[in-house]
């Protein structure tokens, strides 16, 4: 596995989410503007308030993803790790993990990579381990095959 390519895949995944949310936000702004030209009364005011709540929610989500993009930009994917820490790519007998951000599953060359926050429960168990070590998580033994 190429950690640098996986890192770029995660960044692209984040950028795609940000772009989709920004497009939805733009659509809500346009819809609100169009509604204000053709509507009046209580029904209009309710629709406008709901649109504003949706816009605030989308703006909050965009800001969260922008913060995640800032965090991942501080990871140097060319660093090779021998023990698991923030920025490590870990192969286990149960799959691949990238200790970076809590994004969940990301597909890389038809392989699922679980992107997780190192502060997540399994991230905490993996932290400091090396190839050949194992952890017990949810009554399941996980062996560490390699660390990059």
Tell how strand 95-99 and strand 111-116 pair up.
Answer: parallel
Q: What is the pLDDT of residue 48?
A: 76
Q: Can you tell me the distance from the alpha carbon of 142 to that of 40, in angstroms, rounded to the nearest whole number? A: 61
Q: Looking at the domain assignment, is residue 66 inside a domain?
A: yes
79 occurs within a structural domain: no
Give me the percent of the chain exceeding a pLDDT of 90: 81
**81 within some domain:** no
Structural domain contains residue 12: yes
- Which residue range forms the structural domain that includes residue 138? 89-147
User: How many domains are contained in the chain?
Assistant: 2
If asked whether residues 117 and 65 sit together in one domain, one would say no
Q: Is the pTM of this model over 0.75?
A: yes
Asked if residue 68 and residue 9 are part of one domain, the reply reads yes
Instruction: Flag whether pLDDT at 31 surpasses 90.
Output: no
How far apart CA 2 and CA 134 sit, in angstroms, is 23
Average pLDDT over residues 116-131: 95
Structural domain contains residue 134: yes
Q: Within a domain: residue 83?
A: no
Residues 76-88 have pLDDT tens digits of 999 999 999 999 9
pLDDT at 32 over 90: no
Please check whether residues 12 and 48 belong to one and the same domain.
yes
The pLDDT of 26-53, averaged and rounded, is 73
What distance in Å separates the CA atoms of residue 57 and residue 123, rounded to the nearest whole number? 29
Nearest Cα to 14, choosing from 86, 80, 101? 101
Q: What is the pLDDT of residue 40?
A: 53
Check whether residue 69 and residue 103 sit in a common domain: no
Residue 53 lies in a domain: yes
- Residue 33 has what pLDDT? 75
Residue 80, in any domain of the structure? no
């Amino acid at each position: 596995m190429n950690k640098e390519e996986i890192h770029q895949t995660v960044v692209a995944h984040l950028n795609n989410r940000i772009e989709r949310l920004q497009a939805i936000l733009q659509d809500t702004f346009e819809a609100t503007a169009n509604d204000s030209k053709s509507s009046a009364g209580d029904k209009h005011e309710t629709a406008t308030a709901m649109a504003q709540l949706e816009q605030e929610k989308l703006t909050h989500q965009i800001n969260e993803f922008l913060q995640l993009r800032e965090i991942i930009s501080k990871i140097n994917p060319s660093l090779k790790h021998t023990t698991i820490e923030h920025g490590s790519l870990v192969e286990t007998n149960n799959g691949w993990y990238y200790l970076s951000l809590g994004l969940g599953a990301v597909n890389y060359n038809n392989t699922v990579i679980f992107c997780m926050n190192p502060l997540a429960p399994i991230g905490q168990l993996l932290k400091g381990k090396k190839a050949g070590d194992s952890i017990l998580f949810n009554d399941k033994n996980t062996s560490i095959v390699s660390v990059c």
